[in-house]
Amino acid sequence: MFSLDSILVLFLLFNSARCLSIGENSAARSLTTQTTSPSTSAVSVALGGVTYVNKGIVGFGLIPSNFTDSLGDTLGGIGSGIAFKQATWKSLSNGSYTGTLVVHPDRGYNVISTVDYRSRQHEIDFVFTPYNGTDDLDFESAQTTLQLTYVDTILQFDRGGGNTSGLDALAVRAAENGFPTVAVADPEMPIANETYQHLTIDAEGLIAASDGSYWVSDEYGPYVYHFSANGSLIQTIQPPEAFLPLDSNGDLNFTSVVNPTTGRAGNTGFEGLTLDAENDILYAMLQAATIQDGGDDDDTSLYTRMVAYDIANATVTPPTMVGEWVVPLPVSTSKSKTRKCSEIHFVSENVFFALSRDGNGNGAGTSSSDTTSKYKQADLFSIANATNIAGSKFDDPSNPVAPGGVLDDSVTPATYVSFVNYIDDDQLARFGLHNGGDEDSTLVNEKWESLALAPVNDPANPDDYFLFTASDNDFLTEDGISIGVPYNAGVNVDNQFLVFQVTLPSVSPGTIQQAIGI
């Protein structure tokens, strides 16, 4: 294991910002369990008559587990959502790339209990130098491929300038002034009828819009929040009633501790958020099935739902729901357990990435079984032939689309295929990483939850893109600070980043460029 000092030396390089002081469902089931090998050669998959290629890992970087943000809190959980800040991606003449990543943590260090962690996003500058060689790099050298430099933190506020919070949603605030009923909590007064309570956000998805604003998806609601560039809440999107956590009396109960009677299960809200920038269509996807669709059991949580909203004139006209589809989740053949989806990313018309994973890896535990991941992949799915159920009877929770995990005969799900494998041993070894074994800084992290695409800009490979992905380390460090209070989580888990190179022939010219503002 390398010392923190050696890691920080690498982390400080190129510091240009502030100086750091530190198909059919049966087909989908079989495809999602295959492995992408051999790792030393490109791996191809077909979807909708198009061949997509994974060329493997080309970059790795990290931020140390005990690094603190400008507010004095431990910088962690930042893999929950990432996006390229508009107009920052640049190709350099020496073959490197620079830019700024906007990263969003979830609800803070909550291993013991939820805390009053204020919603925020961070800006991180990077210098990326792709490594395409076949020789294995040592761990220290691998980090030179993606140099990361912390820049700043922006807090996000409730309407009227009130604070946001990561505390469990123990109360409900009624709809008013164009905003829907929302989940709230107050650290001093967790009672539903108080005049003010903090808006609770467990952020899991992030979109950097062309006007400088940001869209953030949330697990508590599940909702999508629209924030201005300075962090002020602009508007809130509430999905159909079938998504909302309702108790047996039909009342909203947003807590993540106890599952509702219908709607999203606890901690499986809108994990996925992405944007079709050309058409201004925002997509959000649940991490797993709703309760009425089998989401109360991993064995029956086989289908999740994705919704789409037209946000072309969002600041003038409220977003309009224009689509809803059923998406199958990959299933382990050995244990028949569903791999929940932690992120989605728009690729081209009807085609998306889906990041699904198990719960093993660095941060999951110290036993061999906990540290050995079985499934971590950025797969592809298409809704080209899927049934659009928006506005149908299935938006009423009394009409499940997949009761007990059995899909309604009238509905065709998205077509799902296996694609980018995060835990290929040979690929990991090229960057000094490993899957399974000792829980150290070179062990691949447990929770990968974000995706971002940028063009390679190679005339010889015009369809090639870099797929950036980051992990949520759950703020795990032995030297942490949570809302001003020191803590020791008993383990150090760095914030890891990986970059893959992929060929995406279906992408229309300019689509990704427009999405990131270049």
**pLDDT for residue 335:** 63
CA–CA separation, 314 and 316 (whole Å):
5
Q: How far apart are the first and last CA of the chain?
A: 39
Q: Which amino acid is at 316?
A: V
Confidence of residue 195 (pLDDT cuts 50, 70, 90): low
Convert the pLDDT of each residue in 15-27 to its tens digit.
333 333 333 333 3
**pLDDT for residue 44:** 97
Convert the pLDDT of each residue in 133-180 to its tens digit.
999 999 999 999 999 999 999 999 999 899 999 999 988 999 988 999
DSSP strand E in 201-248: where? 203-208, 214-218, 224-227, 233-237
Convert the pLDDT of each residue in 265-281 to its tens digit.
999 999 999 999 999 99
Convert the pLDDT of each residue in 277-331 to its tens digit.
999 999 999 999 999 999 988 889 999 999 999 999 888 889 999 999 999 999 9
Taking residues 27-52, report their average pLDDT.
Answer: 62
**pLDDT for residue 15:** 36
**pLDDT for residue 66:** 98
What residue spans of 357-440 are helical by DSSP H?
A: 368-371, 425-429
Shortest CA distance to 219 belongs to which of 81, 344, 106? 106
Convert the pLDDT of each residue in 455-481 to its tens digit.
999 999 999 999 999 999 999 999 999
Dihedral angle sign, alpha carbons of residues 235, 239, 240, 242: negative
CA–CA separation, 271 and 56 (whole Å):
25
CA 213 to chain centroid = 18
- What does the block give as tokens for 508? 């229309």
